[in-house]
Chains A and B, each alone.
Chain A
C-alpha cells in the first residue's frame, strides 16, 4: 500500500471526502453534491451558462470581491479604533508601522471600488440577457437591494480614515438627508427640526462628528455586510429555485 492509498483509505479521510477522484460521471456528481460550497451549483448546467462570454463571471467576481473585503476588513479591524482621537492616526500607523499595513489598506480600498464596479457590470449583463424576466423577477429585485447595499457599504467605509476627503464627502452626502421632503430640516415642507430629522438619524448629530464615525463604523463592519451576506444567500438559492441560470426558450 502506498502512502497515498493509506491516507485516502483512512477513516479520517473517508469521513471527510465521501467519493474518490476517478473521473466518472458518478464522481462528477458526488464532488458537487458532497461539498457544501460547491453544492451551490446544480450538478449539470447548460453549456452556454458555463461560458465566461455569457455571464462575464460578474456575479461571481462581485461575490469574490466581497469575500476579499471581509477578510482584509477583519484584519484592518485589529488596527483601527472608531474614535476621532485615533482613527486618522491608525491610518498613519497602518501605512508606516504595521507590517504590510499599507498594502492591506490598499487591497481593501481598491477591492471596494472593484466590487462596486463589478456589481454595476453584473446588473448590465443580467439586463442584456433578459435574465430578469419570468420567473426570475424577484431575484432581480433582490439584486437591486444588493446593489444599493454595496454602494452604502462602500460609502460608510469612506468616512473611517477620518481625513479631509472623507469628512467633506460624508458631509455633502448626509446633507442630502437634511433635504428630504417633510423629514429633513432644510427640505421642502419640514415637519421636523435639526435634532430629529433624517440627517440627525444618519449622523447621531447635526454635523459629522464622533457619533457619526461610530455609526458609520458599526454599519460598515457589521450591519450592512451581515445583510449583504444573507442577501447573497437568498440570491444564490433563488437562482436555482427559479430554474437555474437563464437560457433561451
Chain B
C-alpha cells in the first residue's frame, strides 16, 4: 500500500516536471523561425530604405574632420576628450573587458538567477547598469553631438566655427593635491562600505572585495573626470613629462 502511494507520488512528480518542462518541438523552433523571419524583413526594409554610406575615395593627404570611429567605438573616442590615448584607448578598454569577465567570479550573491529580480541584487544591478548606460550615453554624445575638431554641437545646430565655442583655458591640478585627493577617493571607496556595514560588502571575502572596489573606483573615475573637466576646466590630475592622467 505504502509502496504504491510512493510510486504514485513519484509518477505524479514526474508528470508535474514534464508539464513544467514542455517539449521544445514545435514551439521553440517555431518561435526562433518567426524571430528570423522578422529580423530578415527588418533588414530588407532597412536596406531598401537606406543605402550604406560611401564617402569619397580615401585620400591620405586630406584629413577628414571630424574623423569618427564607428558608433560602437565612439564611446571610447568620446572618452579621449577626458583621458590621454594610452588610458582611454588602451588601458581602460582592457580593464573593461577583464572587468566584465570577472563579474561572475566577483558577484557571489546567489539570488536572482533566471528571473528579472532587481531588489535581490541591488548592488550588482545599480553598478552594472550605471556602466552600461554610461557607455550608451558616451556613444550618443559622440555620434550625434560632436562636430569638427570634436567640438560640442546640439543635434539641431549647424557645424560652424562661428565663435559660440568660447575657448576655455584648461589647467592642471598640481600633482601633490591630486595624489592626496585620489588617495582620499580610494580610501573612502574601500572603507565606507565596510564602515556602513553594507550587506554586499559583508558577503564578500577580502580578495573579491578589493578587486570589486578597485574596478568600481576606476569606473566612477570616468564621470568624475568628465565633471572636473566640463565644470572646473581641469585637464590633468597628474601631469609628468612621461605620462599624464
Whether A131 and B113, one on each chain, are in contact in the complex, defined by CB atoms closer than 8 angstroms, is yes
Which label, helix, strand, loop or mixed, suits the secondary structure of the A interface?
helix
Residue contact B85 to A179, C-beta cutoff 8 Å: yes
The complex places the Cα of A165 from the Cα of B71 at a distance, in Å, of 12
Q: Which of A42, A50, A65, A248 contacts B113 (CB 8 A)?
A: A248
Neighbour of B23 across the interface among A44, A92, A113, A165, CB < 8 A: A44
Choose the segment among A2-10, A167-175, A228-236 that binds chain B (4+ C-beta atoms closer than 8 Å).
A167-175
Cβ distance A131 to chain B, nearest Cβ, rounded Å: 7
Partner of B52, one of A106, A175, A188: A106
Docked CA distance A25–B85 (Å): 60
Question: Is the beta-carbon distance between B84 and A179 smaller than 8 angstroms?
Answer: yes
B31 within 8 A of A: yes
Per-residue CB proximity of B53-70 to A under 8 Å, as 1/0?
111111110111001111
Knowing A88-B57, A129-B116, A137-B105 touch, does A176 contact B52 (C-beta < 8 A)? no
- Residues 42-60 of B at the A interface (beta carbon under 8 Å): 42-44, 46-48, 50-60
Using Cβ atoms and an 8 Å threshold, which residues of chain A touch B115? 48, 129-130, 248
B26 x A130 contact (CB < 8 A): no
Q: Are A52 and B59 within 8 A (Cβ)?
A: no
Q: Categorize the interface residue count of chain B.
A: 35 or more
**Bound state CA distance, A168 and B133, in angstroms?**
27
B243 at the interface (CB under 8 A from A): yes
Judging by beta carbons under 8 Å apart, are B69 and A172 in contact? yes
**Contact call B70/A154, Cβ cutoff below 8 A:** yes
Task: Report Cα–Cα, A181/B39, bound state, in Å.
Answer: 42
A98-119, CB under 8 A of B: which get 1 and which 0?
A: 0000110111111101101000
Q: Determine the chain B residues whose CB is within 8 A of the CB of A44 once the complex forms.
A: 18, 21-24
CB within 8 A of B64: which of A168, A209, A246? Answer: A168
| Contact (Cβ within 8 A) B23 A28 | yes
Tell me the count of chain A residues lying within 8 A, CB to CB, of chain B. 92
Q: Which residues of A contact B67 (CB under 8 A)?
A: 168-169, 171-172
User: With contacts defined as CB atoms under 8 Å apart, how many contacts are there between chain A and chain B in the complex?
Assistant: 229
CB neighbors of B among A107-142 (8 A): 107-111, 113-114, 116, 120, 124, 127-134, 136-138, 140-141
Q: How far is A120 from B48 in the complex, measured between Cα atoms in Å?
A: 25
CB distance from A105 to the nearest CB of B (A): 5
Name the B residues within 8 Å of A108 (CB-CB).
Answer: 52
Minimum distance in angstroms from B14 CB to a CB of chain A: 12
Q: Mark A46-82, 1 if CB is under 8 A from B, else 0.
A: 1110101000010011001100100000000000000
Q: Are B113 and A133 in contact (CB under 8 A)?
A: yes
- Chain B residue nearest to A109 in the complex (CB): B52
Instruction: Judge whether A114 and B43 touch: CB under 8 Å.
Output: yes
1/0 per position for B62-106, CB-CB distance to A under 8 A?
Answer: 111001111111000100000011100111000001001101110
Establish whether residues A154 and B35, one from each chain, have CB atoms under 8 Å apart when the complex forms.
no
A-B contact pairs, 26 of them (CB 8 A): A31-B25, A45-B21, A47-B20, A60-B35, A61-B36, A61-B39, A106-B52, A110-B46, A130-B112, A130-B113, A131-B113, A133-B104, A133-B112, A137-B105, A155-B73, A164-B56, A166-B58, A179-B85, A181-B86, A184-B86, A184-B90, A207-B60, A208-B60, A247-B114, A248-B114, A249-B114
In the A-B complex, the 5 residue pairs with the closest CB atoms: A176-B89, A179-B85, A106-B47, A168-B67, A137-B104
Q: Contacts A41-B24, A108-B52 given; 9 further ones with Cβ under 8 A?
A: A28-B23, A31-B26, A43-B23, A47-B22, A127-B128, A129-B114, A167-B64, A169-B68, A176-B85
